[in-house]
Amino acid sequence: MEMQEVPYLEMNHVRKSFGSLEVLRDISLTVQQGEVVSIIGPSGSGKSTLLRCATLLETMDEGTLSYLGKSAAIMENGCTVYAKPAELDEIKRSFGLVFQSFHLFPHYSVLKNLIDAPIHVQKRPKEEAVAEAMALLEQMGLADKADAYPHQLSGGQQQRVAIARALALKPEVLFFDEPTSALDPELTGEVLKVIKELAEAHMTMIIVTHEMEFARKVSDRILFMDKGYVVVEGTPETVFRSQNGRIQEFLGKLQQP
């Protein structure tokens, strides 16, 4: 018998409401090691909320969540029960998140943004953290910016620092929530290039994006969300050729100037 691979991320039947507004209705998502999954869909369809539930920034009303087989949330008597704080802290080490608006720490230099959590959260030796951070900055093409402060960088550079900061903690899964939406078109390219390189290095990633060309090229799988449901899911080919009315409408709108 073949060993069943443990999914890196598994979410089942997730529901989430804000007051009377149902934002997520029965969403399931399983991501295997090395997979790149993109989530697309119109504004307000619940993409960010899904990422926020997956990264424990929001609590789900219903549904389960696990990383590498470790349960962060299970269902008990029809509602979600989260693991103990200590277990959640352990599970949190499995993932990182890159925000649309970076959220770098403005009072720390670029290097300190990268090494502060490895040193003070993961208790790694400083020399090791610095060496790894410098290697990451090199990889991001930002080796000369180690001593700069975030406000001295362009948006594209800041976002690359934010990616490096997330990678410095060596997550198994990396989430991106519209990583280029706050950037000019010229700066978008440099960030997408970095993400593409990560995909080639088989980083497991879940990316919410409005960059359709990018999603098509980089993803193993695409989810199209609308009104809290996953309407279409499959390979880029399947999704972009889908005859589903909602996705046609969505892709059509994007093509209009």
Partner 1 sequence: MTFHVILTELLNGMLLTVGIFALTLLFSMPLGFLVSFGRMSKQPVIRLITQFYISVMRGTPLMLQLMVVYFLPWYLFKIPLSSFWRFPAIILGFTINYAAYFAEIYRSGIEAIPKGQYEAAKLLGYSRSQTFLRIILPQVCKIILPAATNEIITLVKDTSLAYTLSCIEMFSVAKQIAAAETSMVPFAVAALFYYIFNLLVSFVMNRIEKQMSYY
Ligand X SMILES: Nc1ncnc2c1ncn2[C@@H]1O[C@H](COP(=O)(O)OP(=O)(O)OP(=O)(O)O)[C@@H](O)[C@H]1O
Cβ-contact 50, 9 below 8 angstroms: no
45 binds, among Mg ion, ligand X, partner 1, none (CB under 5 to 8 A by kind): ligand X
Q: How far is the CB of 48 from ligand X (least distance, A)?
A: 3
CA 243 from centroid of its chain's CA atoms: 28
The single residue among 6, 28, 34, 44 that binds ligand X, judged by CB under 6 A, is: 44
Decide if residue 49 touches ligand X (CB under 6 A).
yes
Q: How far is the CB of 43 from ligand X (least distance, A)?
A: 3
Q: How many whole angstroms separate alpha carbon 185 and alpha carbon 183? A: 6
Q: How far is the CB of 246 from Mg ion (least distance, A)?
A: 18
Q: Which residues contact 7 (CB under 8 A, 6 or more apart)?
A: 30, 31, 32, 66, 68, 69
Total site size for partner 1, rule CB under 8 A: 26
Nearest Cα residue to 21 out of 42, 47, 45, 41: 45
Q: Which is nearer to Mg ion, 152 or 181 (CB)?
A: 181
Residue 94 half-sphere exposure toward CB, CA atoms < 13 A: 21
Decide if residue 7 touches partner 1 (CB under 8 A).
no
The single residue among 38, 48, 159, 180 that binds Mg ion, judged by CB under 5 A, is: 48
Q: Kindly give the residue spans of alpha helices, DSSP state H, lying in the chain.
A: 47-54, 85-92, 110-120, 126-139, 155-167, 185-200, 212-218, 236-241, 245-255
Q: How far is the CB of 57 from ligand X (least distance, A)?
A: 10
Q: How far is the CB of 28 from partner 1 (least distance, A)?
A: 23
103 binds, among ligand X, Mg ion, partner 1, none (CB under 5 to 8 A by kind): partner 1
As given in the structure block, the two tokens for residue 13 are: 């039947």
Q: How many whole angstroms separate alpha carbon 73 and alpha carbon 59? A: 9
The footprint of partner 1 (CB under 8 A) covers: 55-57, 89, 92-93, 96-97, 99, 101, 103-107, 116-117, 120-122, 149-151, 165-166, 169
